[in-house]
Amino acid sequence: MEISVSQQAAVFLLAVAFGFVLGALYDIFRIIRIAVKCGTVSVFLQDLLFFTICALLTFLYIFYTNSGDVRFFIILGEFFGAILYICSVGALVMRISAKIVEVIKRIVKFLCNIISKPFILFALFLKRHLSIFHKFLKKWLKIFFCYLKIKIFSYNKYIKQFFVKKKKNKDEVSVKTPIKESVRKRI
């Protein structure tokens, strides 16, 4: 299908405007990189996503404006539009967005400090008072376990005395041992 020069000029100017929009779309990815530190793999994936979106949008643009006929001047117009955006408005947008991202980071940091401050103070309070309680508890548990150990030890002696059978010598006559007076007092 043949199109006139005036139609080609209109499609070219629309391609320049479309390239301008694609440049603005790329700035969104650049702002994300400023806001969040990205590694090389992440940058690669972001660029791959951007170029996939650009290819799809370019295909749709060519299909809509030129009935699917790929013309070199359309791709060239998009390229010039993107370069025009990056060199003019893009530089200003990036400077402003870098400052806005910095302000937002400061606000978020300030809010996180305000929100986390009561929890930090409560944790310090617990640490201080629980350490005092821990010392007190440790002292009383030590006393309790010493008392318990004495009781268990004395009961063990009592149990051994009555329930453990002694070996009998052939010469001895078996006689029951009487309960010791000290054990009776404990019972």
Q: What is residue 127's predicted lDDT score, i.e. its pLDDT? A: 67
Distance CA 38, CA 32 (A): 9
Per-residue model confidence (pLDDT) at position 95 = 92
Query: Which has the closest alpha carbon to 81: 37, 24, 30?
Result: 24
The whole-model pTM stands at: 0.58
**What is the structure's pLDDT at 20?**
94
- Please state, in angstroms and rounded to a whole number, the distance separating the CA atoms of residues 165 and 174: 11
In tens digits, the chain (187 residues) has pLDDT values of 577 888 888 889 999 999 999 999 999 999 999 888 888 899 999 999 999 999 999 999 888 888 778 888 888 999 999 999 999 999 899 999 999 999 998 998 888 888 878 877 777 776 676 666 666 666 766 776 666 555 555 555 555 554 555 555 555 555 455 555 554 455 5
CB 26 within 8 A of CB 93: no
